[in-house]
């Protein structure tokens, strides 16, 4: 599946109203598929759609509401999509929240673990029938360098026994990577043509970076633009993972530069923290229990 051969296909991108998600949607929309912008704020989603159409008036772009911190919203999104579409070629699990003050989702999960991991886990599970029936579908899940050295706090997933924002962000991104790899194992075990690939964007200057509750501004934003790669470069690993025909599933894609922080996409090696197969299987079981979503192969 190459970038220029997306015509006639359908792609869902979560968090597609800004940053990496919007850059990914821009590239996809120029290559012919129907692109679904799955966003929490539909007003911002419509603005993103307008921005895409301003560049490419022929683009087929639709905005659909999706709040990954609300499992009912996730279920409703999937049901709405399945009622109107009979195939799904690309699911880009991109949306994320980074280092907020301690807070919980509507369902009582710690916000980062609940939104970044459990929301995408449930979304993928609900959409699995379409992905399984679409030839050579791909599920791309965006992890992060922050997974390095992170742990899954099975005895404190909700942060009620202590919370450090960056550690819990690392947990959520490790969970993303473990999920992507475990998903690919299961897809292959059930002889499905769909594949699952993880990626990370290195360090990119996007609006994911905040200081406390405030967007990064002024001097800090200037430093970001100088030392971090721009969003259009940060989007390349996602695009590569979604389209490169040589990938077989289970890979981890990231920038090829020093420290894997910047550069062009290439196959990366996960930190050993992601190689704990027992923890990955436990995470899968816990995720099914917490979300109530069982993957039906």
Structure confidence by residue, pLDDT tens digits, 70-85: 999 999 999 999 999 9
- Chain-centre distance of CA 87, in angstroms? 19
Res. 208: pLDDT tops 70: no
Res. 14: pLDDT tops 80: yes
Q: Name the average pLDDT for the chain.
A: 90
> Could you give the CA distance from residue 120 to residue 259 in angstroms, rounded to a whole number?
27
Among 108-112, 211-215, 230-234, which range has the highest average pLDDT? 108-112
Alpha helix (H) ranges present in the chain? 19-29, 42-55, 71-84, 111-112, 120-133, 165-189, 218-227, 231-234, 236-243, 277-291
pLDDT digits (tens, 9 = 90+) for 28-65: 999 999 999 999 999 999 999 999 999 999 999 999 99
Q: Please give the residue that has the higher pLDDT: either 48 or 220.
A: 48
> Could you give the CA distance from residue 277 to residue 256 in angstroms, rounded to a whole number?
26
Q: Which of 102, 163, 169, 240 is flagged as catalytic? A: 163
Q: Does the reported pTM lie above 0.85?
A: yes
Domains of the chain: 3-291 (3.40.50.720)
> What residues pair up with 36 in beta bridges, in sequence order?
12, 62
Residue 233 has a pLDDT of 78
Known catalytic residue: 163? Answer: yes
- Tell me the average pLDDT across 162-189: 98
- Tell me the average pLDDT across 226-232: 64
């Amino acid at each position: 599946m190459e970038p220029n051969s997306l015509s006639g296909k359908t792609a869902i991108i979560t968090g597609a109203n800004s940053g990496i998600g919007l850059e990914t949607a821009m590239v996809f929309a120029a290559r012919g598929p129907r692109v679904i912008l799955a966003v929490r704020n539909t007003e911002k989603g419509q603005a993103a759609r307008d921005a895409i159409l301003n560049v490419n008036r022929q683009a087929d772009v639709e905005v659909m509401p999706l709040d990954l911190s609300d499992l009912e919203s996730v279920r409703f999104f999937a049901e709405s999509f399945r009622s109107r579409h009979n195939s799904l070629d690309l699911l880009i699990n991109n949306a994320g929240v980074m280092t907020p003050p301690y807070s919980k989702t509507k369902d009582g999960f710690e916000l980062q673990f609940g939104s970044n991991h459990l929301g995408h886990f449930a979304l993928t599970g609900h959409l699995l029938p379409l992905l399984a029936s679409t030839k050579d579908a791909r599920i791309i899940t965006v992890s992060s360098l922050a997974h390095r050295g992170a742990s899954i706090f099975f005895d404190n997933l909700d942060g009620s026994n202590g919370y450090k924002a960056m550690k819990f962000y690392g947990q959520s991104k490790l969970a993303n990577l473990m999920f992507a790899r475990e998903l690919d194992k299961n897809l292959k075990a059930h002889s499905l043509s769909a594949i699952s690939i993880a990626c990370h964007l290195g360090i990119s200057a996007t609006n994911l970076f905040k200081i406390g509750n405030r967007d990064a501004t002024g001097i800090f934003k200037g430093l970001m633009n100088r030392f971090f790669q721009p969003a259009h470069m940060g989007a390349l690993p996602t695009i590569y993972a979604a389209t490169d025909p040589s990938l077989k599933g289970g890979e981890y894609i990231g920038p090829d530069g020093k420290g894997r922080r910047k550069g062009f996409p290439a196959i990366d090696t996960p930190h050993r923290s992601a190689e704990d197969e027992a923890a990955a299987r436990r995470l899968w079981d816990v995720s099914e229990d917490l979300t109530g979503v069982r993957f039906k192969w």
